[in-house]
Amino acid sequence: MMVESASMSGDSLRKFLGVTVAAGLLSGCATSSFPPAPAVASDAAYNYVIGPGDSVNVVVWRNPELSMAVPVRPDGKITTPLVEDLPALGKDSSTLARDIEQALAKFIREPVVTVVVTSFVGPYSEQVRVVGEAATPQVLPYVQKMTLLDVMIAVGGVTEFADGNGASILRTGEGNKQYSVRIKDLLKRGDVSANVEMRPGDVLIIPQSWF
């Protein structure tokens, strides 16, 4: 997963969101024209990949002086003893461990490395964004099997001006396809059928109601 592609898609995403949110505000409580979001969306084969802001614990077997917890820098790289500027962005922990072993092999014989991610942020392209009439609009790290209810709890629900049943999910992983979701039914009426799974990179858009 490359930084260039994430930043490029971010520019187009911001433009798309500006148009989408504006359209949602103008439409008020109009029925959404988007298809309902599928109840199941997560990928069983999903592996968490490392992003800027994560913290990783690098353990080198029988070499405690080379073992330490390090942050992933904004450029997506890490620095450990004997290993400088090693790319970590977009790799899972096992892949990063093998890369560290290869780098350390220049200095020690047959290094055995374990990498444990201890603080999760994730790549920008996989974070879940909540915009519009959420109580606290924010960016959330994606978690496997994360649902719409999980997201709403994290952002503190919606404002009194929200058109909850007019909300939608912009699914960047499917070419910016958009799905309708029923937040009001889920939160106010306890309709569990309205609780759907999220995917990495989803943008939850909650418009304002004029009625």
pLDDT in tens, 198-210: 999 999 999 999 7
Q: What is the pairing mode between strands 138-140 and 128-132?
A: antiparallel
Residues 23-75 have pLDDT tens digits of 444 444 445 689 999 999 999 999 999 999 999 999 999 999 999 999 999 99
pLDDT for 3: 37
Residues 84-108 have pLDDT tens digits of 999 999 999 999 999 999 999 999 9
Residues 110-138 have pLDDT tens digits of 999 999 999 999 999 999 999 999 999 99
Can you tell me whether residue 114 is helix, strand or coil?
A: strand
Which two structure tokens, joined as six digits, stand for 135?
């109580």
Q: Does 12 have pLDDT greater than 80?
A: no
Query: What is the C-alpha separation between 153 and 170, in angstroms, rounded?
Result: 19
Q: What is the pairing mode between strands 77-80 and 55-60?
A: unpaired
Q: Which of residues 161 and 11 earns the better pLDDT score?
A: 161
Query: What is the C-alpha separation between 88 and 35, in angstroms, rounded?
Result: 37
pLDDT for 13: 53
Element containing residue 197 per DSSP (H, E): none
Q: Which of residues 209 and 16 earns the better pLDDT score?
A: 209
Query: What is the C-alpha separation between 133 and 150, in angstroms, rounded?
Result: 17
Q: Is the pTM of this model over 0.85?
A: no
Q: Does 5 have pLDDT greater than 70?
A: no
